[in-house]
Structure 1
Amino acid sequence: MDAYAPRPALSRRKEDCVSEHSRVAAPPKIANTLPVEEASEGCTMKQERISQTALKVANSLVSLSAVDDWAQRLPAGLVEMSERLLVASGSPGYGQRLMELSKGPWMIRAWRFQDLMIPGQFEGFGHRKIYVQQQVEAAIENGARQVLFVGAGFDTLCLRLAPQLPHVQFIEVDHPATSAAKANGIERVGKPENMIQIAADLGERQLSQMLSEDGHWDTSVSSVLIAEGLLQYLADEEVRGLFVEAAACTSPGSRIVFTHANPGYSKWVTFLTSLIAERWKSSVASEDLPEYVEGTGWAIISDVDNDLAHGAERYAVAERR
């Protein structure tokens, strides 16, 4: 993995971060928030295995771009960068030939077939990407100077926005196996100077500890965090613990953009995710989110999401109090 350009040390020390953590709430212990089979763009995975869900989500967007007007609706450059990154990463099976086939009728039919089991999932990935990028850009317009993507998988948001926003620090955190494959691809497509990848197992180190040890994160700066396609792979107490950890190392006014499973999702979700050892563990109704995050240092600021187009997931934004 590339060496990162040095930046000034943290404006607040790790001890300060932990101290504020204790003032936010008494959290459940989250040393195993993301078990050794860590979550990456919403998936748990084995220790040395690249996240298959992360690869699948990135590839699904390539297919989606060939449907109706989705090529125009998706964020600018997302499809092209997803293709380039997947091929450049050298991930088995994700070569140029697959990228070409992904836009063909047979692949699109395969995705549509999955929609019979998990309604809305195919186009839901597109809606999710649009929402997350819009909210991140809004936070930056409101003064955020750091973006932290937890479980980034093969998402390209940081890779695309970093060159456009040199005054913003972009940091991705992911399991070492997935992070290494992605770093291999980023090396080939071009790594922005203001983008950092942290390869870390959050089952072994808490988020606050990991950020302090890396040295690029400034706890005094307004920030926006992303937990996209991640929380449903954590138990309820682990989700709460992650929010408390995030609050411990962010300043008031910072935001977290996240997605969560909607209760009552198809039984096929449980069946299919169990087959690949990536089982969903939690869900919460959008209207229950204010109570769900109460006491973690965050407050929900987004509207209730009951949009069926979002498939089995719902989207939200919380602000650091």
Structure 2
Amino acid sequence: MKENTASSTAYTVLQGLVYIAKCTPHSYLVPDEMRRLGECVLSASEEGRARLSALEKPTIRLKTGIREFIFLPGITLHYILRKRCIEEKTREAIAAGVTQVISLGAGFDSLAFRLSCEFPEVNFIEIDHPDTQKFKADAFDHAAEAQSGLANLKYLDVDFTHQNIEDRLRRFDPFDRSRPTLFISEGVTMYLTEDEVIHMFASIRNLSGAGTRFVFTAVEPRESPRNNTRLALFLYLKLIGEPIKWSMEGPLLPAFLEKQGCKLDAIDATDDFKKRYMAPGRHPRLHYGEYVAVAHFE
């Protein structure tokens, strides 16, 4: 990610969610509140407003199709399927007794905001790069004013590549290490080195201890038969300063997690998303290569 600018990927993901809601027959996958908040965040910056405007042009479907063909088939629909899975896992964790949810690298995601309204007894903390976080925090603050404010949602700015997550969170007053906690990391691990990923796991273990839950996404290596990502995407991400640095084959994940003091509880991938969230009928080509993992620290 380039300095002094919000993540290009964060914009792309959010634009994709609004695109699915407004321009496709799969709008049922995007809750109205998620779409509304997405438009609110995009409206808060010049680039976001340009991306919203692009969705109104009659050529948007053609351009999206061409872009996906070149870079990553099915990725736009994948964004909302991935988020539906993570929200489901988060709700399950809260139902099971989690009273603190911490999102690492939240981007422009609205999950913590939406759930903080629904679960006022749960402590929500979002952690992200300040250049990405500032637009969303301001936009959501305006949304919260209509609901008399949200005392249970806090923001902490951290640059994952230059700052120690553990030190920053330990000194953050809203963080309560005594609470049963769920950490979420969506679309983050791929942009970290393996050492940084290992450090993330170690930080979570040191902060919250045994029983802590972790929901995160990871990508298959480019050469994996379970990945349909084009080489062009890897080259493009490197060009914009957001290269993919870490990947992990799904079958190898349990052994990796064991070394981090974790046990894998579940892996959900594209076929699981399709069965669980998509209406019966013909489906467009979907993205393969990224999965959602659920683990807990022992």
TM-score (norm 1): 0.80
Do 2:270 and 2:288's aligned partners in 1 also have CA atoms closer than 8 Å? no
- After superposition, where does 1:175-194 map in structure 2 within 5 Å? 175-190=129-144, 191-194=149-152
Give the aligned length: 274
Q: 2:217 aligns with which of 253, 259, 267?
A: 259
User: 2:281 matched to which residue of 1?
Assistant: none
Q: Separation in 1 of the partners of 2:259 and 2:295?
A: 13
Cα shift readout 1:112-144 (whole Å, capped 9, x = no counterpart):
222212122111111111111111111111111
Q: 1:218 aligns with which of 164, 169, 176?
A: 176
Distance 1:134 1:225, change over 3 A: same
What's the CA shift for 1:57? 0.8
Q: 1:112 aligns with which of 65, 72, 83?
A: 65
Distance 1:256 1:282, change over 3 A: same
Cα shift readout 1:32-91 (whole Å, capped 9, x = no counterpart):
xxxxxxxxxxxxx1231111211111111000113544221224521111111221x2x1
**Unmatched tracts of structure 2, length 5 or more:** 223-228, 272-284
Q: 1:309 aligns with which of 270, 286, 292?
A: 286
Q: Separation in 2 of the partners of 1:311 and 1:173?
A: 27
Q: Separation in 1 of the partners of 2:64 and 2:179?
A: 41
Greater relative contact order: 1 or 2 (C-alpha under 8 angstroms, separation 6 or more)?
1
Do 1:171 and 1:197's aligned partners in 2 also have CA atoms closer than 8 Å? yes
Q: 1:277 aligns with which of 237, 241, 246?
A: 241
Q: Separation in 2 of the partners of 1:147 and 1:232?
A: 21
What's the CA shift for 1:226? 0.9
Three-state SS of the structure 1 residue aligned to 2:59 is helix
Partner amino acid for 1:285?
Answer: E
Distance 1:210 1:122, change over 3 A: same
Do 2:41 and 2:135's aligned partners in 1 also have CA atoms closer than 8 Å? no
Do 2:5 and 2:132's aligned partners in 1 also have CA atoms closer than 8 Å? yes
Cα shift readout 1:218-267 (whole Å, capped 9, x = no counterpart):
11211111110011111222212211111111242221111111122421
**Unmatched tracts of structure 1, length 5 or more:** 1-44
- After superposition, where does 1:58-207 map in structure 2 within 5 Å? 58-87=14-43, 89=44, 91-95=45-49, 98-99=51-52, 101-102=54-55, 104-116=57-69, 117-190=71-144, 191-207=149-165
Q: Separation in 2 of the partners of 1:78 and 1:244?
A: 32
TM-score (norm 2): 0.85
CA RMSD of aligned residues (A): 1.9
